[in-house]
Each structure stands twice: as structure tokens, then as C-alpha cells.
Amino acid sequence: MHAEKLSFDLFNALPDVECQERIRAAKARLGRKVVLLCHHYQRADIYQHADLTGDSLKLARLASQSDAQYIVFCGVHFMAEVADILSKPEQTAILPDLAAGCSMADMANLAKVERCWCELSAVLNAEEEVMPVTYINSAADLKAFCGEHGGIVCTSSNARTIAEWAFARRPKILFFPDQHLGRWTGHKMGIPLDEMMVWDPDLENGGLTVEQIRKAKLLLWKGHCSVHQMFQKSQIDAFRQQYPEGKVIAHPECNFEVCLNSDDVGSTEYIVKVIKEAPSGTRWLVGTELNLVDRLAREMLPQGKIIQFMSHITCMCSTMQRIDPQHLAWVLENLAEGCVVNAIQVPPHEAELARVALERMLAVS
Ligand code: 13P
Ligand code: SF4
């Protein structure tokens, strides 16, 4: 690996059009050495360069199946970590802007999860009674925690299958960091709301009594997505009043009321599939990130489908948005010159345990 040749300062001030040309030229030079994986929430000026697109589950699989030397991940940090963990040792995962994190993933950390596990162990035999399940939107050390404690990873598209796997092995689940995906999954499995307790990591015993911990089937970490929390039931009500024939679809990171009042709930890939397969002339209210909804609206217009965004205010994932043409041009030109910048390398011991939890997920789903 060479030292960094091209400084980001040379790209920072470049106009977008010039970056677009340089991205195309660098990709052409790199050929099959590079693959650009792109999450559905990426902005249009990045998405147009994608080799492969998808939701978190699809992208994790694609990363594990790719033969490219460089996997450039246009998404957020935990996705690039998964690509690094699941790819071969000779491959390199790259995140064009290292500041592209996930605010939900940051709501749980290893110290807090370990404290939670200790507190649960004082009340229960946690290793036998509680299955740790982490949403893929989490740092690699939390996936490693799950790998070490018999647990597993899930995504928004396989959460129910994974929860069934978990309940077949232990009577309770500790689900982190997204309480909403956990609650919606539990609800779909018929678990009553009073058997799904929120675990507040900043309070002793999660803010729960010993009886509540014993009664809970699902312990839901008090975390959420700041983008999806902007969607509200009142927005669905207003849409239904104006367009009674319209359909509503939401991502399971939305709050319980929004999911309950939607016609359909699913991952980003699922939302894309349902809307693409819908009859022409249909109208949809969509509760997920704006870049995806805008793209669907543009793509579906020729088929006479009308796609509306659920909120009246802009809900973009500001960290996904950080992957811009300047950063993408910078990493690709460096790669074309033989320099790796912004490689994501999960420490080997952590990667090994995290891989256990991820491979359990891939095998089950
Ligand atoms: P998907 O796996 O559905 O793409 O969700 C990822 C995500 O971060 C949604 O906010
Ligand atoms: Fe994280 Fe929410 Fe952005 Fe998804 S939309 S990457 S959960 S902050």
C-alpha cells in the first residue's frame, strides 16, 4: 500500500460536473478491480455511478460475493464494516467519507451493552434465557458481542425470521439498538405490548423492575432513527382523507403507530419492489428517506404512479448525504493511482466474532 498521493484538498473545491467526469474516468481505469455498492438512500449524483444497489441485507450478501479488489461502499460506516468483515482478506472495503456514520448505530455501544448484560445476569441466567440480537445498524464490536454470546444480527428485511430463530433457542430477546424495528417485529409475531419493555441504557436496570425484566419477552433498547422518527400518524390520516384510494408503505424504523396505520411495512428493497410491481395509476405515501422516495417518484412517473413523501418537512439521512462527488472522485482517483484511502479495517479478533453473528444471519435468512 502506498502513502496517500492525492490530498482531499485538491478535490474539495472541485465543481460537481468535473467530479462526475473524474469519477467515470477513474472507474474506467480501475475496471473490474473496483465495485461500487450503493445503498438506496444515496443521493442521485452518487447513485448514478453504482454497480450494485440494495438494502442492508442485499448489500451484505453482495459484499460477501464480490471478487473486486476494492469494495467502495457508498453508504454508512456500519455497512462498510460489514463489507470488510464478510469479504476476503485480500479485498479492501472503502468508505468515501469516514464521517458517514449512523446516528441510530451510535445509540448503543459496547460498554452500555455489557453493563446491560451484567444487570440482566443479576436477575436471570442471561446466557441461557436471553438471546442478544443486534440490528445490522450497529458497530462491529456489538456484532462481535452477539457472536460471542450465541446471538445474531438482523436487518429490516429478515427481523422476523431472525427473531423466530432466537426464540427457538432462548425465551427472551435483547434487541438493540432500534426499539421500533424490535417492537414491530414482536407485534407481528403476536407478542403483547406489555411483554415488550424498553431498556433505557442510561438508567440502572434499564429503568425496569425485576418483575418487568422477568415478564418481558422482548427487551427493546431505547434507540431510534432520527430520520424515521419524523413520520407521524397524522400525516397518514391527512393523506387518507385526501386520497382514500391511496396506499401507505413505511420502513419498520418508523414508530409503532405509523407502522400500524400503514398498508405495508418493509425494508428499502421491499418498498422499491412493492412500488415497482404496483399497478399503474396507483398513488403511494412513503415513510422512508427522501432520496429514495424522490428517485421512486421520478422513476414511476412514466407509469402514471404518484409517489408522495410522508412528511411535510425534509427527512434526509445527513450522514448518507456526506458521500458526495468530491469524496467519491478523491477515493477513486487515489485507487487508480494505487493508493488506498479511507479503508475500513475491523480489528481481527472483533471481525472474527462479528462474522460468526453475521454468518448465522446469512445462513438463517
Ligand atoms: P434497509 O436495510 O431497509 O435498507 O435499512 C437501512 C437503514 O439504515 C434504514 O434507515
Ligand atoms: Fe442510520 Fe437512520 Fe440514516 Fe438509516 S436513515 S443510516 S438508521 S440515521
pLDDT tens digits along 217-259: 999 999 999 999 999 999 999 999 999 999 999 999 999 999 9
pLDDT of residue 100: 98
Residues of the chain with CATH 3.40.50.10800: 9-100+319-346, 228-309
Query: Is ligand 2 within 6 A of the CB of residue 102?
Result: yes
The verdict on the CB of residue 56 being under 6 Å from ligand 1 is yes
Distance CA 268, CA 47 (A): 15
Model-wide pTM > 0.95? yes
Task: Using the structure block, give the residue that is written with the C-alpha cell 391527512.
Answer: 238
- H helices, E strands: number in the chain: 17, 13
pLDDT bucket at 315, cuts 50 / 70 / 90: confident
- For residue 80, the CA-to-ligand 2 centroid distance in Å is 14
Is residue 326 within 6 Å of ligand 1 at its C-beta?
no
Confidence check: pLDDT of 69 > 80: yes
Q: In what order do the strands lie in the sheet with 247-250?
A: 264-265, 247-250, 283-287, 306-309
At the second CATH level, the architecture of 9-100+319-346 is 3-Layer(aba) Sandwich (3.40)
Q: Which residues in 278-300 are b (16+ Cβ under 10 Å) and which e?
A: beeebbbbbbbbbbbbebbbeeb
Distance CA 97, CA 323 (A): 6
Whether residue 331 contacts residue 342, with contact meaning beta carbons closer than 8 Å, is answered with yes
Task: Please give the pLDDT value at position 4.
Answer: 60
Taking the centre of ligand 1 as the mean of its atom positions, its distance from the CA of residue 66, in whole angstroms, is 21
User: How confident is the model over 102-132, as pLDDT tens digits?
Assistant: 999 999 999 999 999 999 999 999 999 999 9
* pLDDT score for 313: 86
Question: Which CATH number is 105-225 given?
Answer: 3.40.50
**Distance from the CA of 225 to the center of ligand 2, in angstroms?**
6
CATH of domain 228-309: 3.40.50.10800
Residue 41 alpha carbon, nearest atom of ligand 2 = 5
What cell was used for 9?
Answer: 484538498
- Percentage of the chain modeled with pLDDT above 70: 99
Q: What is the pLDDT of residues 186-208, one digit of tens each?
A: 999 999 999 999 999 999 999 99
* Cβ pair 179, 173 in contact under 8 A: no
Say if ligand 2 is within 6 A of residue 229 CB: no
